[in-house]
Amino acid sequence: MSQDSNPSPSSKAGWKAVVLAIFIGLVFLGFFYMAVTNEPDYMPSQKHKQSHSAHQATAPVASEPTATEMNMTEEEHAHMADHEASAAHAH
């Protein structure tokens, strides 16, 4: 019984198929990992994050103007702020 040092051609093709299958599997797992770790924009958690960040970005712009911007004294401005606060609580 002699052993062949050269593998048969079908054996070489089998190893190529195994290597190709492993490569394709790794590529699939890579895409699957990226799909699982990145949430799309339409997911509810992403919409909540976007609305929260948009609210923070507009908050400083929507702040109340100062007394000097409205050409008022500090006392008039304070009285106006108190009046608006009491009107908001009355509703």
DSSP sequence for 23-89? HHHHHHHHHHHHHHHS--TTSHHHHHHHHHHHHHHHTTTTSPPPTTTTT--HHHHHHHHHHHHHHHH
Of 24-33, 54-63, 73-82, give the range with the top mean pLDDT.
Answer: 24-33
Which pLDDT belongs to residue 56?
A: 67
Q: What is the pLDDT of residue 1?
A: 47
Give the angle 20-25-31 at the CA atoms, nearest 5°. 130
**pLDDT exceeds 80 at position 49:** no
Looking at residue 74, what is its pLDDT?
80
Residue 55 has pLDDT above 80, yes or no: no
Backbone torsions φ then ψ of 86, nearest 5 degrees: -70, -35
- pLDDT above 60: residue 21: yes
